[in-house]
Structure 1
Amino acid sequence: MSTPSATPATPAARQSLTMVCATMAGAIPMMTLVLWFVLAVDGIGEFPESWPLLVVLAAAVGAYSICELVGFRTPPLQYSNRPTAEVQADSWRRFTASTFTRFAVCEAVFLISVTLAFVADSFWVVLLGAVIALPLFFWEAWPGERNQRRFAAALESGGIPSYLTGRAQD
Structure 2
Amino acid sequence: MPSAEYDATPKEVRNFSFLQVGLTGGFLVLLFFMLGGSDADYPPIWLAVLLVVLIGVGAFFAERVWLSAEPLSPDGDPRDLRGEAIGVFAGQTVRKLVFCEAPLIFAVLVAFIGDFGGWPLVIAGFPGLAVLAWETWPSLRNTSMTAAMLDSQGAESHLVESFLDT
How does the TM-score come out when normalised to structure 2? 0.84
Residue of structure 2 aligned with 1:13, choices 9, 15, 29: 9
- Per the alignment, residue 82 of structure 2 pairs with 88
- Structure 2 counterpart of 1:152, one-letter code: A
- Counting only pairs closer than 5 Å after superposition, residues 36-51 of structure 1 correspond to structure 2 as 36-40=32-36, 43-51=38-46
The structure with the largest alpha-carbon Rg is 1
- Counting only pairs closer than 5 Å after superposition, residues 54-133 of structure 1 correspond to structure 2 as 54-68=49-63, 70-73=64-67, 74-80=69-75, 82-122=76-116, 123-133=118-128
Note the alpha carbon deviations across 1:82-126, whole angstroms, 9 max, x for none: 321111000000000001100111111211111111222221101
- Paired residues in the alignment total 153
CA distance in 1, matches of 2:156, 2:115: 52
- Structure 1 counterpart of 2:78, one-letter code: T
Mapped pair 1:34 → 2:23: no
| Secondary structure at the counterpart of residue 72 of structure 1 | helix
Displaced runs of 4 or more, over 3 A: none
- Per the alignment, residue 143 of structure 1 pairs with 138
| Secondary structure at the counterpart of residue 45 of structure 1 | coil
The alpha carbon displacement at 1:75 in A equals: 1.0
Structure 2 unmatched ranges of 5 or more: 1-7
The alpha carbon displacement at 1:22 in A equals: 0.7
When the two chains are superposed, the root-mean-square deviation of aligned CA atoms in Å is 1.8
CA distance in 1, matches of 2:39, 2:104: 18
CA distance in 1, matches of 2:74, 2:152: 12
The percent identity for this pair of structures is 22
Moved more, 47-56 or 89-98: 47-56
